[in-house]
Amino acid sequence: MDPKLFLAVFTSVFVAEIGDKTQLATLLFASNDAHGKWTVFVAASAALVLAAGIGVLAGAALGKFVEPKVLTRIAAVAFVALGVWTWVKS
């Protein structure tokens, strides 16, 4: 395992997930005393692992047909477009 790659992926995903809708939904579930905290933790963790797995599989498949630099630019444009759309809608 490449430690630099691990750190880069971990840091980017961690920073992206902190304070997002997923974390807020998990926080709301966990704040309810009727919900088991371990169940909320395991379910949220499993969902994030599955979502990451789908991302890895999709990236591997796309990487066979599209250059990584092109994918990076497409992702950048998509993030900016989503940000502008969110800003305009608010």
Q: Is the pLDDT of residue 5 over 90?
A: yes
The model scores a pTM over 0.75: no
- The mean per-residue pLDDT over the stretch 24-41 comes to 92
pLDDT score at 76: 93
Domains identified in the chain, total number: 1
**pLDDT-based confidence at residue 36 (cuts at 50, 70, 90):** very high
Q: Is the pLDDT of residue 17 over 90?
A: no
Give the torsion sign (CA, 83, 87, 18, 39): negative
- Nearest CA to 9 out of 56, 47, 50, 71 is that of 56
The domain in which residue 13 lies consists of 3-89
